[in-house]
Amino acid sequence: MIRHFIAFGLLCLCIAGGPVASVAQEQATTELALPDANEFERLAERAEAIAARDDASLFAISRLRGELVVWRDAFLERSEVNTGRLATVDTQIAALGPAPESGEEAESVAARRAELTAQRQALMAPRLLAQEAHARANGLIGEFDAQSLQQQTSELTVRGPSPLNPTHIGAAMAALWGLVEVVGAEVTAGVFTQRQSGQLARELPRALVLFIIGIGLLGAGRRLVTRWRSRVATGARRLRPLLLFAVSAVQLIVPLVGLFVLSEALQSLDIFGLRGGDVVAAIPLAGSFVILGWWLSRLIFPTGVTQGYLGYDAATRATGRMLSAAIAWVMAIGTLIGAGLRTMEMTPGAEAAFEWPFLFTLGVLFWRFGRVIATKPQARGDEVVSAGRMRGYLGRVATIVAIVAPVLAAIGYTAAGIALLGPSILSMALIGVLFLLQRIAHDMTQRPDNEEDFRGMYALVPVIVSFVLFIASLPLFALIWGARVDDLIELWTRFREGFAIGETRISPTDFLMFAAVFAVGYILTRFIQGTLRKSVLPRTRLDLGGQNAIVAGFGYVGIILAAIIAITSAGIDLSNLAIVAGALSVGIGFGLQNIVSNFVSGIILLIERPVSEGDWIEVGGQMGYVRAISVRSTRIETFDRTDVIIPNADLVSGQVTNWTRGNLVGRVIVPVGVAYGTDVDKVTEILRGIAENHPLVVMTPPPAVLFQGFGADSLDFEIRAILRDVNYVLVTKSEMNHAITKEFAAAGIEIPFAQRDIWLRNPEVLKDPTPS
């Protein structure tokens, strides 16, 4: 029950919008010097004796565990001593070189090597002792955690007396009436004693002032904040959800503060005894259930015409608010009475009989609440409303838990029923808070009118916020479902310790250092690449391909250097990964040989530059312009405006035709056919004139007109000319064909076309034999 109180307190801090304070264990400050080994030895022997017992109490285990945690942290700090000095000594030993296998070495060098080796052993001794003690303390802590978990599990699985036994019900009623009598007697005696001593008269004014302040915060303060929230609802559209939630958090905090003030006012009178004091001390927690239920129900099931985020109708929202308040009041009453009965002598049967009515009532209310949650949302005009699949799952889980928990308690598993129903209710409340925060983030990043503004990181803000909320809620869920604060601290300690690779230990700090240094190196590399691409290289005489090669090569080198510097800064020793790297190299050689081949080919393309961006190439039956050369492949754009990805290995090992390598000069060939009997000299003169008059044809060398031969239907000629820009070869060929058609028509030259005469050998068989 205590861990549930802690989890509820953390839940209140979470929904208040403030940062959740990290739970710190009260520990003595560890000195930097090596702790007293004899003191730790005595503590360890005592802990080992407790760990060997099966009947050790949780109090003794928790106390010894706390002391061991202090020692473990001290030993962890000592396990990294002399790091700088050891690095220096290792460097000195490495400078002497390896010892000769023959054993023959200069006496002075051998003596110096032995001296440095002894010095290194002396420096390593404190670290080794600290590591051994750390391992011992860590092992004992693990044994205690396992023992605590085993005891908690056994408590849940042990069957006790049934609470439905009339004998136990009578004992529970008697204990409850005895609590009322004891508290009444304690208050009567306390008032008489304090009045006789005059202490009551001195403390009464202060108590009255505190009481008035508490009542004011509970009543007038809450109403004032409610009116303030109504005014904020008409504010800025973009920040309205966040401001409304912040004001709602204040609306929750103000009554909570009032509860603590009221409790302080009652305790300051000093008229309550042991059991009455327990009840008064439980007032803030019990009242927190009521206030949280009221606050959360107003946000999930709002009043008025507003349907809220879940889109329920008015009747469903009213039922949800009523059930939330009822569940909160039942939990509050159970908390107050349970606090008073905690020190009363009760049999296990009486305790079960006292707990079961509350479990049964909460089960009925929670069952109805699950049905309300599973209700489908109400349609909002033409707006498409989700079917509510997640709320359906939550509703079914709530109904199942509401039935199973009271049944378990009825057959004697009261602890299991309490451990199932209570955390389920608190988990449902936490899920509601997370849902509200997620919807607030979604509303603050609503899709703007301009679709371009809703791209990139802006559109990912709701997803990132949801992920952060999920991670931050995991400790709360763990506390709600039975985890101890010590368990969470232990997980955090193990996380900080990191993991070991050989003699190198990698911790989260090392990883953050690696990520930070690599990020700085990566950003610096990209910045220099942009400067080279836009400001430096355009002022040189390098062509576009050379500029791209330099920029890409600098990017590869920069990223590799950033990775090396980051690994070195993090203190990661790569020598311990030599065996792993060797095994990976074999895997790369067999499984990733094509990728490695393409990678090496990409580097060759960037260095030799047989192909550059913007070149017109032909490879593997594909023809187009090179648009990008990456590490693995090259992208070319065909004349059909389609992208073709060519592996770099094909460009290096295969046959590639580069039409624009070095310059844009190229040749065009235009075939022409004329009819037999045409004056060939006149044809040659006309074709030469057409070629020479075209603006893209160069005169050095001059264009040539060749009489290729005698075709089946025509005399075949060809125009062969050199163009200034081969990229326009098709356009040039088309323009020459147009000019040839016009000139031949004007000169009366016929362009032949194929003709065929068909002779029928026996045409008589085609006649119709039927007489007309």
Amino acid 584: pLDDT: 65
Contacts of 278 (CB under 8 A, 6+ apart): 339, 340, 342, 343
Taking residues 376-381, report their average pLDDT: 69
Least trusted range by pLDDT, from 21-25, 245-249, 519-523, 664-668: 21-25
Higher pLDDT, 661 or 290: 290
Q: What is the DSSP letter of 319?
A: H
pLDDT at residue 361 tops 90:
yes
Amino acid 468: pLDDT: 86
Taking residues 616-632, report their average pLDDT: 83
Strands (E) in 193-268, as ranges, are none
Query: Alpha carbon of 440 to those of 239, 244, 261, 299, 455: distances in Å?
Result: 9, 9, 32, 12, 19
Least trusted range by pLDDT, from 10-14, 20-24, 185-189: 20-24
Amino acid 227: pLDDT: 66
What span, in angstroms and rounded, lies between the C-alpha atoms of 718 and 739?
14
Range list of H helices, 544-679: 544-569, 578-591, 593-608, 648-653
Amino acid 294: pLDDT: 86
Amino acid 225: pLDDT: 62
pLDDT, one tens digit per residue, over 301-330 is 887 777 777 778 888 888 999 999 999 999
Query: Alpha carbon of 200 to those of 151, 192, 203, 215: distances in Å?
Result: 46, 9, 5, 21
pLDDT-based confidence at 22, cuts 50/70/90?
Answer: very low
Amino acid 377: pLDDT: 78
Higher pLDDT, 232 or 209: 209
Amino acid 330: pLDDT: 93
Amino acid 240: pLDDT: 63
Higher pLDDT, 386 or 662: 662
Taking residues 40-53, report their average pLDDT: 85
Q: How many CB atoms lie within 10 A of CB 194?
A: 18
Joined together, the tokens standing for residue 730 give 């098709």
**Which residue reads 């879940």 in tokens?**
310
* φ and ψ of 667, to 5 deg: -110, 145
Sequence-distant contacts of 120-126: CB under 8 A, at least 24 apart: 120/86, 120/89, 120/90, 120/93, 123/82, 123/85, 123/86, 123/89, 124/82, 124/86, 126/34, 126/78, 126/81, 126/82
Most confident of 292-306, 366-380, 413-427: 413-427
Class of domain 592-662 (CATH, top level): mainly beta
Count of alpha carbons within 13 angstroms of residue 176, beta-carbon side: 17
pLDDT, one tens digit per residue, over 384-412 is 455 567 888 888 999 999 999 999 999 98
CATH number listed for the domain at residues 666-747: 3.30.70.100
Higher pLDDT, 759 or 394: 394
**Beta partners for residue 506, in sequence order:** 499
Amino acid 406: pLDDT: 92
Amino acid 41: pLDDT: 86
Amino acid 165: pLDDT: 85
Say what percent of the chain tops pLDDT 90. 14
Taking residues 343-363, report their average pLDDT: 88
Look at residues 9, 29, 32, 137 and name the one whose alpha carbon lies nearest to residue 490: 137
Amino acid 544: pLDDT: 67
Residue count (the chain): 772
Domain ranges, ordered by start, for the chain: 31-99+106-157, 166-379+386-491, 592-662, 666-747
pLDDT at residue 195 tops 90:
no
What span, in angstroms and rounded, lies between the C-alpha atoms of 207 and 205?
5
Least trusted range by pLDDT, from 508-512, 620-624, 715-719: 508-512
Taking residues 479-507, report their average pLDDT: 73
Q: How many CB atoms lie within 10 A of CB 236?
A: 9
* Amino acid occupying residue 520: V
pLDDT at residue 583 tops 60:
yes
pLDDT at residue 717 tops 90:
yes
Helix (H, G, I), strand (E, B) or coil at 685: helix
Q: Quick check: 625 and 615 in contact, CB under 8 A?
A: yes
**pTM, two decimal places:** 0.63
Least trusted range by pLDDT, from 25-39, 132-146, 260-274: 25-39
Amino acid 233: pLDDT: 55
pLDDT, one tens digit per residue, over 541-575 is 776 666 777 887 788 889 889 988 888 877 666 66
Amino acid 26: pLDDT: 32
Q: Quick check: 765 and 756 in contact, CB under 8 A?
A: no
Q: Could you check whether the bond before residue 701 is cis, i.e. omega within 30 degrees of 0? A: yes
**Average pLDDT of every residue of the chain:** 80
pLDDT at residue 753 tops 60:
yes
Amino acid 21: pLDDT: 32
Least trusted range by pLDDT, from 116-130, 165-179, 751-765: 751-765
Taking residues 463-486, report their average pLDDT: 85
Say what percent of the chain tops pLDDT 70. 82
